[in-house]
Amino acid sequence: MHASAGQPIATKAQAVISSLAGRITGYNPFPNSTGGAVPQTISIDGIFNRISGIGLGSFIYGLLPLKQLPHKGKAKTLGKSLLTAGVLSGLFMSGNPHNTNLLTTSRPAITVSSSEVSYT
């Protein structure tokens, strides 16, 4: 936002509003302001990641009403911390985490023409 330094207060306000709205919703109410077009960086889909899942699981473990389970208090505290960290890191994760598949590679598949295959 240093591009708006020395500008009138109305121009600075437009840059701040455009930047905040662009980062949260992806919509820029003032596209011609000094901040320009700002991409959306908050991802609601990102909050459902493995860290928040592990945190939710250990938090639920701490809430179970069974006295025989060990370390329920520690699990509940750790679960709250992991759930908070997972949600906050997922909100600000760049891109959609569901676009990638770890099982597929970027290499092209090997193709074999039918003339090279023997059916005997």
Which residues, 6 or more positions from 94, have their beta carbon under 8 angstroms from its beta carbon? 41, 43
Q: What is the mean pLDDT of residues 68-89?
A: 91
Which comes out higher in pLDDT, residue 7 or 51? 51
Q: Is the pLDDT of residue 108 over 60?
A: no
Q: Is the pLDDT of residue 22 over 80?
A: no
Residue tagged 């500008």 (tokens)? 7
pLDDT recorded at residue 79: 94
Q: What is the mean pLDDT of residues 96-108?
A: 49
What would the DSSP string read from start to end of the chain?
-GGGTTS-HHHHHHHHHHHHHHHHHS--S-TTSTT--------SGGGSSHHHHHHHHHHHHHH---TTSTTHHHHHHHHHHHHHHHHHHHHT-SS-GGG--TTS-SSPPP---GGG----
pLDDT digits over 32-54, tens only?
777 666 777 777 778 888 899 99
pLDDT recorded at residue 43: 74
Q: What is the mean pLDDT of residues 4-14?
A: 79
Which comes out higher in pLDDT, residue 98 or 71? 71
